[in-house]
Structure 1
C-alpha cells in the first residue's frame, strides 16, 4: 500500500465534501436533515470511506455514524474525534462534515503506515447538531453523552412527523436510545475539528486556531406593551409608543454588549397594529446573548433588563421577558489546549487561541469527558451559507495538526 501525502489527503477530503454536498433533499442547494433518506445515504457513503481507512463501522441507536480504529491493547481508552453530518437549509459544504472527514483522513494515514496507538479512536458523524428538523439541537451528541430527554419523543417536524415516528421510519428502535450513551470511564477525551464560522482567523492571517471555550447562550422573547393611538391626533409627549421603546431597547442591547465585551443580537422584531397611521401599541423582539464567561454574560443581561425597565417607566410602557433558551458555557480542557499549542509550535504555526461564539457537539460531550477543538479558517468568516469556503492548503494543515496531536497524545 503506497502512503498518501497530506496534500493528496486534503484534496481527497475536499472531493469527499463535494460528494456529500450532492446528497440533499433540495436539488438547488445543500439541505440534509436528521433521520431523512439523505441522512441515511450520507451515513452509507461516509461509512464506506471509514472502512477504506481501516475502521469498523456501525450506526448507533440515535442514528449517528460511528467508526472505530482499534488500539494496541483491547482494554485501552477511547479518543472520540467527531462533528456533525447534518446541515441547515441552503447550507455550505463544510460546516460539520469537514471535521468528520479530516478525522477519517488522519486515521487513513495511520492505517496506511500500519500505526496503532495506545488508545482507540472512534470517529462519530453526529446525525443532528443543527436541530433543523425537530427544533432541538445536539440530539445526536446528547444521546452519546447520555443526556437524552424522553420529552423529545413528542417533538414534531413541519410535516407533523414525531421524533419517535422518525426513529422507527429510519430503522431505529426508540426504546434502545440509551444504548447510544458512552461510558465516561472508557473515554480519554473528545476532539473536534470545525470551520471557524467567523472572521477572526482570516483577519489574523492564520489557518488554524485553538478553541478556549464555547460560548454559553441565553435567549429571550421580550414584549413591550404600550397603547395604540391615532398618528395624527396624539401629541408626542402623551404617546405610549411600544415600538420606540423596543427600538431604544435594541440600541441598549448593542451598547451594553460592547461595554461588557460579550456578543448580543436582536434577530427578530415585530409590532402591531402595523398600520402606517397608527402608533404601535405593542412590540416584540428577541435577544440572543453569548459569552465564554457565564457570569459576565449574566451581568450584561442584568444591566440590559434594568435599563430597559427605566426606559419603559419613562415612557409609560411595560416589558415582559420570556426565556426561551439557556445553555452554559463550556471550557475546553487546559491540558488539551497545551497539547494543541505544542503541536502548532512544532509546526511553526502561531498557537492562536479564540473562543467559539457558535454552539458545537463538544458542548454536549463535555458532560462526560474533557473536550477540545481546532478551528479551520473559512473565507470571509462566512458559514451557514452556500458561499462557505476553505482552502486545500488549510485543510492539509488541519490534517497534519490533528495527526500530530494524536501522536503527541500517545506519548
Structure 2
C-alpha cells in the first residue's frame, strides 16, 4: 500500500499568511551591507535594523518584543499558567555573504505567523511561547558560529569576546558599539527547568524533499561538524628557475589534501568541504610557498566524523612529507551530532500529516548546522523542513520556496504547537 494519500491544498487564509511571511523576508533582504546582494552580520547596523523591524512584527502578533543581552530578537506570548515552562520557536536572522533570503529568516517568519494566528483567535495555551530571532548562527563576522543560540543555551564562552573581525574589531568592542554590555551576555541564558522544548522551521538546504516531490519533512537529527584552518608551508621560488624535482610547492600539497577530502568523504559516507584557499606569494610566475585552506567535515555521529578527519589528516601528513612541506592544523569549530526528541518530532509529524494528507512524513537528517544544535544543550528540539526549490540550492541568491509550501509549513507548525499544547492541557480562548 502506498504511504502517500492525495495531497491536500492550503486554504486561502494559509496562503495569505504565507504571502505575508514571504513579504517580510523581502523586507529583511533589503537590510544588507552588500550592494546588490544580501549580507547581514552580527552586531552590525543591519543587525540592529533587522531587530527593530522584527520587533514591530512581534508586537503585531500580540507578543512583548525585546532584545536580549546577546543581541537576539525575542518575543514573549503568555500562556494560561504564568509559572509553566515555555515553548521556544525560532531560527536565525543573520546571513552569509551574497545570501538567499529564506535561510533562517523564513523560520522566524513562520513562528511569528503561528503566534499571530493564536493571538488573532484569542487562544492561550497552557504554556507561554517565546519566539527567538537568533543574532548570529552563521559566524561570518567573528568566525564562531551559533553565537546567539549558545548565549540562550547558557553556553557562551567569555573568551569569544576577544575574537576579532577582518577589520580588527573585537567582539567585545562590537558589543559596546551596538549598545550592549559584553559583561552581561550571560543574562540571555534560559533556565532549562523553564523550557518545554524548541521547534525550528527551516528550508531544507538540499534537494531531498524536492526530489521526492514532498513539501515538508521532519528532521531526525543534525550531523556533527568540525572545521579546521590548515596550512601547507613550502618554499617560494621562480616559476622558470626551479626544476620540478627541486620544488617544495605548498599549493600541490594542499591540492592533494583537498582531493583526499573528497575520497574519504565518498568512501566513509561523510561530507567534507575545502571552501577556502589562499596562496602566497600569489603571483603567476612564483611557486607557492604557503597555502592556507579550510576544512569542514560532517557526519551522522561524532565518532564517524572524527575517524574521517584522522584519515584526511593522515593523507595531508603523507603528502607534506613526500613534498618536503610543513603541515599544521588549527581546530576552529566543533559541533556535536544531535538527535531530535521523539515526543517533539511526533508533534511535527502530526502537523505534516494533518496538512498534506500523507500517511507517513518524510524523515531527513540535516547535514547543515542549525541553532537547534546549540539549543539541544538547553532543551530537546524538533525541526520542520520546507522544500527548497531550484535544485535545493542554499547560501545563494537562487534560494527559493513557493507560497503553497510555506502555507503548508505554517499550518503544520501551528498543528505541531497545538499538539504539544493538548498534551500539556487544553488550550483556552481568551
2:162 counterpart of 1:154: yes
Residue in structure 1 matching 2:364, options 338, 354, 357: 354
TM-score by structure 2 length?
0.86
Contact persistence 2:87–2:130 (CA under 8 A)? yes
Contact persistence 1:269–1:283 (CA under 8 A)? yes
Q: Displacement of 1:337 after TM fit? A: 2.1
**Relative to structure 2, which stretch is displaced further, 3-12 or 290-299?**
3-12
In structure 2, the CA distance between the partners of 1:331 and 1:227, relative to structure 1 (3 Å rule), is same
2:303 counterpart of 1:295: yes
In structure 2, the CA distance between the partners of 1:315 and 1:80, relative to structure 1 (3 Å rule), is same
Partner of 1:246: 254
Deviations 1:85-125 (A, max 9, x none): 22223322112111111111111111222221111110011
Deviations 1:185-227 (A, max 9, x none): 0000011111112222212222112122222211223333456
Residue in structure 1 matching 2:180, options 148, 172, 182: 172
Paired with 1:280 and 1:164, the residues of 2 have a C-alpha distance of 36
In structure 2, the CA distance between the partners of 1:32 and 1:290, relative to structure 1 (3 Å rule), is same
2:409 counterpart of 1:398: yes
Deviations 1:222-254 (A, max 9, x none): 333456667667776666544433333222211
TM-score by structure 1 length?
0.90
2:31 counterpart of 1:32: no
2:362 counterpart of 1:369: no
Partner of 1:185: 193
What residue ranges of structure 2 are gaps of 5+ in the alignment? 1-10, 423-430
Contact persistence 2:219–2:366 (CA under 8 A)? yes
In structure 2, the CA distance between the partners of 1:389 and 1:75, relative to structure 1 (3 Å rule), is same
Partner of 1:100: 108
Paired with 1:245 and 1:71, the residues of 2 have a C-alpha distance of 59
Paired with 1:140 and 1:37, the residues of 2 have a C-alpha distance of 17
Contact persistence 1:4–1:109 (CA under 8 A)? no
Contact persistence 1:224–1:318 (CA under 8 A)? yes
Paired with 1:404 and 1:6, the residues of 2 have a C-alpha distance of 13
In structure 2, the CA distance between the partners of 1:39 and 1:323, relative to structure 1 (3 Å rule), is closer
2:43 counterpart of 1:23: no
TM-align CA RMSD: 2.6
- 5 Å-filtered alignment, 1:132-147, equals 132-147=140-155
Q: Displacement of 1:48 after TM fit? A: 1.8
Contact persistence 1:343–1:401 (CA under 8 A)? yes
Q: Displacement of 1:172 after TM fit? A: 2.5
In structure 2, the CA distance between the partners of 1:233 and 1:39, relative to structure 1 (3 Å rule), is closer
Deviations 1:276-321 (A, max 9, x none): 5665555443321111211111112222223443444555555333
What residue ranges of structure 1 are gaps of 5+ in the alignment? none
In structure 2, the CA distance between the partners of 1:25 and 1:275, relative to structure 1 (3 Å rule), is closer
Partner of 1:64: 72
Q: Displacement of 1:403 after TM fit? A: 0.6
Partner of 2:273: 265
- 1:323 is paired with a residue whose SS is strand
In structure 2, the CA distance between the partners of 1:180 and 1:315, relative to structure 1 (3 Å rule), is closer
Paired with 1:171 and 1:274, the residues of 2 have a C-alpha distance of 40
Paired with 1:306 and 1:159, the residues of 2 have a C-alpha distance of 35
In structure 2, the CA distance between the partners of 1:85 and 1:341, relative to structure 1 (3 Å rule), is same
Contact persistence 1:216–1:293 (CA under 8 A)? yes
**Relative to structure 2, which stretch is displaced further, 117-126 or 325-334?**
325-334
- 1:324 is paired with a residue whose SS is strand
In structure 2, the CA distance between the partners of 1:392 and 1:275, relative to structure 1 (3 Å rule), is closer
Count of residues paired in the alignment: 409
